[in-house]
């Protein structure tokens, strides 16, 4: 059927998008479905019977109609037809069209726009650096989708492999919450693998932490328990490890293979494959509840709002919120290992040598997980951090009573939860089972935690009016209480891993970092970014990172007393918030992925762009390996230089597909 100018104008002018509820439309006395009409409009545009403006007007009308919005199938057809119309307007075909002069002008402008946009997106500092080039180009392409809309009826899957506790699950939680906030109608399915947590506990954790986002509880399931009526995803987000054994199986187990995005641990992997602070990283999760804060301080009122009344009461210790704020300094620490905990405490004690306020640490005093088995002992000599790994107790660090006395502390109290070792059995993806041991709190009948007997020591030789040092171990607490403690404690904090780093930097905290072996790359990215603010600040941050060995606490304390260090941490927080927002990046990536999945032309041009960036990535990895093989020390943040002329060559090769994307997205949206 040939659709002419008058009939299209009649359709555009006479069908009201708000009131139209029919399943088909009559043109010249003949009925056809809206999907069929969309195809006919596409044909007419391709043949030149309709001008591009007329075709776009008709398609815009169609896309607004309720019946098209309600129909996933029709919406998919419409996306493909829009792509077909867009392809007709692209430079390759435009010379043969009946309005080639007008369209060639449009195509030329898009090509010029693409070329200048790419050059503007890559600053001079990144033009000779492989990863800098890759990261800036990919961000520029993502930003082309900023104003685009996700096609109706789409679904994504977030597949997470828990391999080291709740932090892995929180990555999935933050992904879901960020995407549901931006796209409340997007269907999201969460698929889980577990290694050290019971599957039921992992499911309950994610359901509990995402319930306010609008994610249905039934959308969180074990990897092998996907509901039979679940939609096929247009995109899978795989996190935080590329060894998610079931993810590849899931990815290939659908009629139409979905787009795939890997979000590895911060600092892991090559360009565009992980979170972190590298020049080609995807960023870190920030917390919007904290990003308005430039400084934190002890707040008894904030502590009084904690959901865990037991933790709240242990901290306040019978004082009113106002009295607590006036007399105490509260420091929050979240770490797995003894050495960073000891170094953090000694630095804070030394930093407060002239301050008369009592010092409280809310922190772990023991751990028993794979790779970490330690506890804090107190006797009449001081505090001893004991490593019990392998069944052999050895002291790895200590805080002597002499050190406490020298810094004005006359009394030490330790308040800790009573725990017992529990062995749980977890099922692996291959059907085998593994046993995992953990320390778990012993509970009272009312659900609160039992406490160990009171541990209190006077510091020999200290003045009677000296300060009291309290260590409060009331873990675990709800994540909402973690956020309360981040916000309502002193600026200095001890963190570990990925998620606590994002929370600390959201509040511009002065953070010590427990640099576990799998976090070395992220630690290097952290300190490398600090170097862009001040080289001396980079040195301070490197001293504040620890795994084994003892921190230079006196040097750290001296730096923390210097107001410029606090100012640098504030600037650091602002820089990360501005340049490395993973939540925003994932919004763009999901738009890009789902539009690519439903629109063949977009997919075709993106594949050309990704081929170019993948080639750059391979060249960068080869050059990095060659440097290492020659004995050169190459850190995760070490830039690898590109050959002369590579920047311009890359821009020239990308300009055409980027210009076609600009033209296509302009017509589609």
**What pLDDT is attached to residue 92?**
36
Among the residues of 183-244, which ranges form H helices?
199-210
Tokens of 241: 């490890």
CB 363 within 8 A of CB 410: no
Tokens of 35: 């999907």
Strand partners, 384: 377, 398
Instruction: Tell me the C-alpha distance between 182 and 185, whole Å.
Output: 9
Place of tokens 């069908």: 15
DSSP for 415-430, written as a single string: EEB-EEEEEEEEE-TT
CB 172 within 8 A of CB 153: no
The CB density around residue 447, as the number of other CB atoms within 10 Å, is 7
Q: What angle do the packed helices 166-182 and 582-598 form, to 10 degrees?
A: 70
DSSP for 609-643, written as a single string: HHHHHHHHHHHHHHHHHHHHHTT----TT---BPP
Whole-angstrom CA distances from 230 to 14, 181, 565 are 38, 21, 52
Among the residues of 230-331, which ranges form H helices?
245-251, 300-304, 309-316, 321-327
Instruction: Tell me the C-alpha distance between 148 and 469, whole Å.
Output: 55
Distance of CA 398 to the CA centre of its chain: 36
**What pLDDT is attached to residue 213?**
94
> How many helices and strands (H and E) does the chain possess?
25, 21
**What pLDDT is attached to residue 102?**
47
**What pLDDT is attached to residue 601?**
87
Tokens of 395: 């002291």
Structure confidence by residue, pLDDT tens digits, 277-296: 988 999 999 998 899 998 99
The CB density around residue 649, as the number of other CB atoms within 10 Å, is 12
DSSP code for 215: -
Q: Side by side, which strands form the sheet with 366-369? A: 366-369, 372-379, 382-387, 394-400
pTM comes to 0.82
The CB density around residue 10, as the number of other CB atoms within 10 Å, is 13
- Buried/exposed code over 88-109 (b: 16+ C-beta within 10 A; e: otherwise): bbbbeebeebeeeeebeebbee
Long-range contacts of 260-263 (CB under 8 A, 24+ apart): 260/235, 260/236, 261/235, 261/236, 261/237, 261/589, 261/593, 262/238, 263/171, 263/175, 263/237, 263/238, 263/239, 263/582, 263/586
End-to-end CA distance of the chain: 27
DSSP code for 443: B
DSSP code for 71: -
The CB density around residue 407, as the number of other CB atoms within 10 Å, is 22
Tokens of 426: 């977890």
Q: Where in the chain is the domain with CATH 3.40.50?
A: 147-202+229-289
Q: Side by side, which strands form the sheet with 235-239? A: 220-222, 187-193, 155-161, 235-239, 259-262
**What pLDDT is attached to residue 27?**
61
Burial-class residue 396 by CB neighbours within 10 Å (0-12, 13-18, 19+). Answer: middle
In 3-67, at which residue ranges do the beta strands (DSSP E only) sit?
24-27, 30-33
Contacts of 46 (CB under 8 A, 6+ apart): 84, 85, 88
**What pLDDT is attached to residue 423?**
86
Whole-angstrom CA distances from 294 to 217, 505, 510 are 36, 10, 11
Q: Which CATH class is domain 147-202+229-289?
A: alpha beta
pLDDT less than 50: residues of the chain = 17-21, 66-75, 88-102
DSSP SS3 for 10:
helix
CB 157 within 8 A of CB 258: yes
Q: Three-state SS across 373-390?
A: EEEEEEECCEEEEEECHH
Tokens of 203: 């499911």
The CB density around residue 222, as the number of other CB atoms within 10 Å, is 18
């Amino acid at each position: 059927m040939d659709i002419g100018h008058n009939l299209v104008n009649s359709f555009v002018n006479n069908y009201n998008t708000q009131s139209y509820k029919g399943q088909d439309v009559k043109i010249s006395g003949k009925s056809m479905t809206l999907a069929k009409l969309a195809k006919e409009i596409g044909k007419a545009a391709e043949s030149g019977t309709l001008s591009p403006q007329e075709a776009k007007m008709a398609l815009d009308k169609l896309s607004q109609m309720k019946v098209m919005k309600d129909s996933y199938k029709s919406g998919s057809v419409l996306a493909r037809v829009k792509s077909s119309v867009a392809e007709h307007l692209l430079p390759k075909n435009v010379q043969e069209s009946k309005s080639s002069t007008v369209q060639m002008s449009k195509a030329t402008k898009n090509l010029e726009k693409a070329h200048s946009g790419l050059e503007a997106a890559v600053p001079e500092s990144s033009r000779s650096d492989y990863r800098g080039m890759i990261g800036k180009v990919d961000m520029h392409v993502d930003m082309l989708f900023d104003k685009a809309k996700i096609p109706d009826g789409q679904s994504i899957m977030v597949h997470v492999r828990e391999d080291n506790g709740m932090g892995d699950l929180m990555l999935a939680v933050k992904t879901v919450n960020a995407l549901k906030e931006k796209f409340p109608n997007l269907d999201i399915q969460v698929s889980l693998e577990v290694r050290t947590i019971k599957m039921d506990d992992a499911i309950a954790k994610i359901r509990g932490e995402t319930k306010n986002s609008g994610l249905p509880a039934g959308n969180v399931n074990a990897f092998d328990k996907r509901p039979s009526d679940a939609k096929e995803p247009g995109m899978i987000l795989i996190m935080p490890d590329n060894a998610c054994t079931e993810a590849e199986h899931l990815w290939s187990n659908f009629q139409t293979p979905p787009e795939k995005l890997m979000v590895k641990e911060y600092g892991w992997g090559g360009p565009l494959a992980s979170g972190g602070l590298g020049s080609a990283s995807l960023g870190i999760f920030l917390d919007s509840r904290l990003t308005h804060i430039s400084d934190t301080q002890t707040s008894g009122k904030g502590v009084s709002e904690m959901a865990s009344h037991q933790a709240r009461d242990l901290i306040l210790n019978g004082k009113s919120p106002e009295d607590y704020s006036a007399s105490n300094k509260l420091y929050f620490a979240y770490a797995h290992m003894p050495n960073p905990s000891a170094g953090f405490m000694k630095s804070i004690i030394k930093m407060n040598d002239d301050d008369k306020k009592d010092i409280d640490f809310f922190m772990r005093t023991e751990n028993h997980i794979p790779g970490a088995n330690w506890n804090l002992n107190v006797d009449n000599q001081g505090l001893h951090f004991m490593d019990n790994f392998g069944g052999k107790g050895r002291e790895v660090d200590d805080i002597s009573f002499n050190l406490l006395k020298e810094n004005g502390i006359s009394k030490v109290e330790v308040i800790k939860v009573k725990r017992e070792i529990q062995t749980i059995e977890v099922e692996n993806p291959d059907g085998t089972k593994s046993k995992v041991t953990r320390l778990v709190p012993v509970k009272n009948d009312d659900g609160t935690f039992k406490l160990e007997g009171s541990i209190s020591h006077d510091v020999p030789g200290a003045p009677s009016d000296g300060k009291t040092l309290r260590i409060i171990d009331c873990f675990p607490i709800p994540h909402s209480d973690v956020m309360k403690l981040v916000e309502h404690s002193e600026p200095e904090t001890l963190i570990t891993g990925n998620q606590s780093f994002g929370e600390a930097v959201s509040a511009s905290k002065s953070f010590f970092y427990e640099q576990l072996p799998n976090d070395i790359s992220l630690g290097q990215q952290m300190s490398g970014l600090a170097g862009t603010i001040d080289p001396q600040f980079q040195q301070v941050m490197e001293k504040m990172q620890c795994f084994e060995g003892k921190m230079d606490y006196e040097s750290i304390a001296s730096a923390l007393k210097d107001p410029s260090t606090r100012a640098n941490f504030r600037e650091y927080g602002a820089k990360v918030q501005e340049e490395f927002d993973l939540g925003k990046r994932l919004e763009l990536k999901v738009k890009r992925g789902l539009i690519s999945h439903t629109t063949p032309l977009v997919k075709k041009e993106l594949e050309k762009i990704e081929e170019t960036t993948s080639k750059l990535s391979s060249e960068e990895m080869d050059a990095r390996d060659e440097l290492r093989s020659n004995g050169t020390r190459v850190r995760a943040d070490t830039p690898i230089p590109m050959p002369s002329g590579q920047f311009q060559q890359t821009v020239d090769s990308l300009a055409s597909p980027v210009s076609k994307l600009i033209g296509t997205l302009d017509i589609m949206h």
